Amino acid sequence: MEDLTGRRTVVVTGASSGIGLAAAVDLSRRGDRVVLVGRDPARLQSAGDRVRETCGERPELFRADFAVLDDVRRLAERLRESYDRIDVLANNAGAIVLQPATTVDGFELSMQANHLAPFLLSNLLADRIGRMVVTASGAHRSGALDPDDLNAALRRYRPMQAYGTSKQANILFTAEAARRWPDVPAYSFHPGVVRTRFGNESRLVALGMRLLPFRSPEKGAETLVWLANQDPSRLVDGGYYHDRRPRRPLAKAADPRLAARLWTASAKALGIEG
């Protein structure tokens, strides 16, 4: 791994546990100033303690619930006030939603938490970001994205299809960001099937998480950390990675016209310029 870390500022969303926390610990160990974003205050504080134990310095903590877009807007304002430059934005926050749910903003929850919220945050910070890494998933294979109907999953809700659609959106968003923002290298990646808090409210999912050979969060975070550190000249801008290698996502996650449509639809839905 070519180590480009130094005293960079790295913002990690979904940093309270799982891949996000593992990445934050690793990056802080390498000398980066990590900034943790999470939803639950207690777990966020605990994550901050874990990072401090690693690097001897307590990271900045920002609470934001991606199911509430006003939280995302406030987060962007606070980050802009705090940092002139964000060397790496790791859009890692996400959720598998087991029951159909509509947010206070009127969007299907997994689509908002996994795509629209990070899309909004990234756009509001675009002039400050040096590099963007997006946690996607091989689950994009189950996606059925229709940019003209971002709430389509609510009509016949299937948790993994809704999740897969949001992950399909992650890959398309990353590729389109690379096209629209040539000065901001952007990459998405599949972390593998990782043992995290996902699905904890379901006994069946929780049992599977205990019994099946899932990856550790540290293993899942390896590609995120690698993408944050590599010289961009050695990477494919807008590319999708798994186990530190470029991979070809399914065609529905690699269609530039669909990516452009998704960007336009997302910007319109959020009331920002596309």
Contacts of 82 (CB under 8 A, 6+ apart): 35, 60
- Distance, in Å, from the CA atom of 51 to the CA atom of 43, rounded to the nearest integer, reads 12
Domain assignment of residue 4, yes or no: no
- 15 lies in a domain? yes
- Domain containing residue 198: CATH number: 3.40.50.720
Supply the DSSP symbol for 147. T
- List Cβ neighbours of 25 (8 Å cut-off, separation of 6 or more): 50, 51, 54
The beta strand positions in 101-147, using DSSP E, are 132-135
As annotated, the active-site residues are 163
- Identify whether 71 is part of a domain: yes
Between the alpha carbon of residue 161 and those of residues 25, 167, 219, the distances in Å are 32, 10, 25
Q: What is the pLDDT of residues 145-173, one digit of tens each?
A: 999 999 999 999 999 999 999 999 999 99
pLDDT of residue 214: 77
Rounded to whole angstroms, the Cα distance separating 187 from 241 reads 8
Q: What's the pLDDT tens digit per position in 113-142? A: 999 999 999 999 999 999 999 999 999 999
Domain count of the fold of the chain: 1
In a domain, 1, yes or no: no
Q: Which domain holds residue 34?
A: 9-270
In a domain, 3, yes or no: no
Over 70: is that where the pLDDT of 223 sits? yes
Q: What is the DSSP letter of 113?
A: I
Task: Tell me if 155 is assigned to some domain.
Answer: yes
Instruction: With residue 13 as reference, give the H or E element that holds it.
Output: strand 9-13
Q: Which residues pair with 135 in a beta bridge?
A: 189
The SS3 call for residue 233 is helix
Residue 169 inside a domain? The answer is yes
Mean pLDDT rounded to a whole number for the chain: 92
Are 240 and 168 a contacting pair, CB within 8 Å? no
Would you say residue 87 lies in a domain?
yes
Q: Is the pTM of this model over 0.75?
A: yes
Specify burial of residue 21 (Cβ count, 10 A radius: 0-12, 13-18, 19+).
buried
Q: Note the pLDDT tens digit of each residue in 17-39.
A: 999 999 999 999 999 999 999 99
| pLDDT attached to residue 195 | 62
